């Protein structure tokens, strides 16, 4: 008795599309990506952030907004304990030029 392969066809197409997308994304990153570096000043600034979301406008710089975010959690998954520490700092500056 032959095995019906037609029901597997959509699944195979989906997996193939994901694999092809991953392959081309990897090639693009290797071709156009740059080697990153670790800036210890930035690492220390991220470590000094308070937990939560903050936003403020500096009085000495017009048209600028600074935002920071930090989340620290302990996660138990599969009998192991992981510590999650996510932090981000962003600056948006809008200036008029001539």
Task: Give tens-digit pLDDT for 52-62.
Answer: 999 999 888 78
Position of tokens 């599969």? 78
Tokens of 13: 């197409």
Residue 69 predicted with pLDDT over 90: yes
Strand arrangement of the beta sheet that strand 80-93 belongs to = 52-56, 64-77, 80-93
The region, left, alpha or beta by phi > 0 then psi within -120 to 50, assigned to residue 21 is alpha
* pLDDT of the residue at 24: 96
Instruction: Return the percentage of the chain with pLDDT > 70, whole number.
Output: 99
Delimit the domains of the chain by residue range: 40-93
Cut 0.85: pTM above it: no
Could you give the percent of the chain with pLDDT greater than 90?
Answer: 65
């Amino acid at each position: 008795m032959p095995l019906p392969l037609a029901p597997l066809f959509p699944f195979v197409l989906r997996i193939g599309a994901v694999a092809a997308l991953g392959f081309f994304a990897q090639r693009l990153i290797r071709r156009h990506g740059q080697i990153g570096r670790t800036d210890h000043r930035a690492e220390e600034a991220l470590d000094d952030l308070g937990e939560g979301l903050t936003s403020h406008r500096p009085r000495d710089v017009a048209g600028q907004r600074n935002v920071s975010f930090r989340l620290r959690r302990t996660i138990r998954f599969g009998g192991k304990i992981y510590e999650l520490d996510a932090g981000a700092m962003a600056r948006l500056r809008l200036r008029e030029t001539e």
